[in-house]
Amino acid sequence: MKKTVTIEVISGSAGDSLYINEYRVAGVKPWGGGKTIATWKIDRERLLQHLIEADVLEKPPTFPDHQTHLDSLRDQYDKLKVLNTPKYQELL
């Protein structure tokens, strides 16, 4: 299921403001209410991709696949277990 983001421009007595999913991200708070003058809905992944391309956001780091990470943890665990077997037995 795709998640969508709602972007709105609200006009208030002190000026306009920009809302994303009902959170004000720019402009002044429309005290006493405001009028929605524009609304857009966009796929969240598409919006994030555009923000990355516009150099507003950094691309998230990539992570190693889970199996490689688990194998590495098992190797470290086995090395520690061998190095400190008496302490390991105490902990059990």
What residues does 20 pair with on adjacent strands?
7, 23
- How many domains is the chain built from? 2
Residue 11 has pLDDT above 90, yes or no: yes
What's the confidence (pLDDT) of residue 27? 93
What H or E segment, with its residue span, contains residue 41?
strand 35-43
What's the confidence (pLDDT) of residue 77? 75
What's the confidence (pLDDT) of residue 71? 77
More confident residue, 33 or 6: 6
Residue 92 has pLDDT above 60, yes or no: no
Do 56 and 86 belong to one domain?
A: no
Range of the domain at 87: 63-92
Do 69 and 48 belong to one domain?
A: no
Residue 58 has pLDDT above 60, yes or no: yes
Cβ(34)–Cβ(12) under 8 Å?
A: yes
Average per-residue pLDDT for the chain: 82
Residue 87 has pLDDT above 70, yes or no: no
Do 56 and 69 belong to one domain?
A: no
Distance of alpha carbon 74 from alpha carbon 76, whole angstroms: 5
Do 73 and 42 belong to one domain?
A: no
Q: Return the top range by mean pLDDT from 3-7, 57-61, 80-84.
A: 3-7
